[in-house]
Amino acid sequence: MSRPGGHMAPITSRRMLDELWRLVLEELVEENPTQLTIAPLLLVCKAWKTCGQSLLYRHLCFSGIRQLRAFYEHLFFHATEGRYPGLYTQTFTLWTRGLVLQELSHYVPRMLGYLHNIRAFHAQELDICSSILEPLDVVAKRTLCELSLTLCSAEADGAINLAIVSRFTGLKKLQLRMNWGADSTVFAIGRAPGFRMPRLVSLALSSPRVPPVHEFLAFLPRCELPALTSLDLDFPHLTADGTASLQPVFEKLGSQLRHLSYNVPEAARLPQTALVLSPNLELIEFKTAAPSIDLIHILPATIQQINIPVDFSFSEGPAGVVRFLNDWLAENPADCSLRRVQLTMKGLQRFDWRTVGLVSPVFAGQLMTSAILLGARGVHIIDGFKNTLIMVAASQLTGLCS
């Protein structure tokens, strides 16, 4: 409210400035959601400390049992004084394999009791059992949008965990890792009801140590996922029989998929099944190696982007990328709408046009040649930073490359 003379009251002006600083700090935290981002900023001045104090609790990440214990005691101490900073928490992450299941089951459920506004829970490197999933369901059933975890392989009934996960009907992103071996056929997965998640957009499934069991693959077609557009399959031990078990999944969900990513052995022949049943794909990502020439003939005409990994640890990695690009130029599929080929790398590394010449000069030269030839046909090769080598229109390159 303004004073009669037209000047804003000091209290109102102070509140507006505090709100402005809070919005600025929030933007910084969202760009890099870690406590290391916000903590130094709170030391700048008292105003920033007051405005940004709650942001310290926005994204929580724990890598050891001492951190868990200390933070639980911190929450308990504040609760005794009527303060609940855990209400500001939106992301809860456990990311180290050094945490013992028994210790997790002791501290995490107690901490969750103070965190009632969680939107994302990540524990993909750890076995999570029902003793943690049940409390998470109690406090975050209505608010949780992202969930990534490894379903505990030590429990007697895998269907229990699946049933608890199915309660989070508001999820938009779900990542499930399973280490269920052949003995998991005694689990009651075959009788478990399918997920009914009307808002789920992205689903990632992983079985990194053993082939996915048939009972779980047969469980997937019973799921109701009307909004699903992205599917990521990490099945490095998948067999041809496993691919046959996945066929009903693609028969049900294939037509609605726009993004497919997979890591499967070539012998499993997943593309021959998945791509035929996914006619509306716009992006396909290969996780381990560049695809063979046979895939070019079965790609849907709607494909706009292909992601291909580059592995410099062995010579065949870069050579496979060049071979695929040359095969694409030779085949020249006229009915395909491909516009981008993105080169990726494993882990947190990103392929960079600016440094590839230092790593592999020969590969860089071959790649530049392919980039020019593909650019003449309207296809751009981009790196992990979305940079492309060719920035001119395809029509200007046609005369040069003819």
Q: Is residue 211 pLDDT above 60, yes or no?
A: yes
The reported pLDDT for the residue numbered 152 is 75
The reported pLDDT for the residue numbered 127 is 81
Q: Are 211 and 180 in contact (CB under 8 A)?
A: no
Q: Are 190 and 215 in contact (CB under 8 A)?
A: yes
Tell which residue, 119, 213, 235, has the closest CA to residue 168. Answer: 119
Q: What percent of the chain lies above the pLDDT cut of 70?
A: 77
More confident: 68 or 397: 68
The reported pLDDT for the residue numbered 283 is 96
The reported pLDDT for the residue numbered 111 is 92
pLDDT band of 396, cuts 50, 70, 90: very low
* Helix (H/G/I), strand (E/B), else coil: 376: coil
CA-based end-to-end distance of the chain: 70
**Which residue matches tokens 């992006």?**
283
The reported pLDDT for the residue numbered 392 is 47
61's tokens: 């990440």
Q: Is residue 112 pLDDT above 60, yes or no?
A: yes
Strands 146-151 and 173-178, sheet pairing: parallel
pLDDT band of 399, cuts 50, 70, 90: very low
* The 380-382 sheet, strands edge to edge: 59-62, 91-94, 120-128, 146-151, 173-178, 202-206, 230-234, 259-263, 283-286, 305-309, 340-344, 380-382
Q: What are the structural domains, with CATH classification, of the chain?
A: 145-281 (3.80.10), 294-402 (no CATH)
The reported pLDDT for the residue numbered 1 is 45
The reported pLDDT for the residue numbered 136 is 94
Mean pLDDT across the stretch 344-371?
88
Helix (H) or strand (E) segment spanning residue 74: helix 65-80
Mean pLDDT across the stretch 239-259?
93
Helix (H) or strand (E) segment spanning residue 60: strand 59-62
Between CA 47 and CA 51 the distance in angstroms is 6
Cα-only R_g, the chain: 25
Mean pLDDT across the stretch 215-224?
88
**What is the DSSP annotation of 94-142?**
E--TTS-HHHHHHHHHHHHTT-----EEEEEEEEE-HHHHHHHHHHHTT
| Each residue's pLDDT tens digit, 24-76 | 666 666 666 665 666 677 666 766 666 666 777 888 888 888 888 898 998 99
More confident: 157 or 137: 137
The reported pLDDT for the residue numbered 397 is 42
The reported pLDDT for the residue numbered 14 is 58
Cα pseudo-dihedral 286, 289, 294, 300, rounded to 10? 10
Between CA 122 and CA 247 the distance in angstroms is 29
The reported pLDDT for the residue numbered 316 is 80
Output DSSP code: residue 388: B
Contacts of 390 (CB under 8 A, 6+ apart): 371, 372, 375, 380, 381, 397
Residue 285: how many other CB atoms lie within 10 Å: 18
The reported pLDDT for the residue numbered 15 is 65
Q: What percent of the chain lies above the pLDDT cut of 90?
A: 35
The reported pLDDT for the residue numbered 130 is 84
The reported pLDDT for the residue numbered 124 is 84
Q: Are 134 and 164 in contact (CB under 8 A)?
A: yes
Mean pLDDT across the stretch 254-259?
96
Tell which residue, 36, 12, 38, 11, has the closest CA to residue 24. Answer: 38
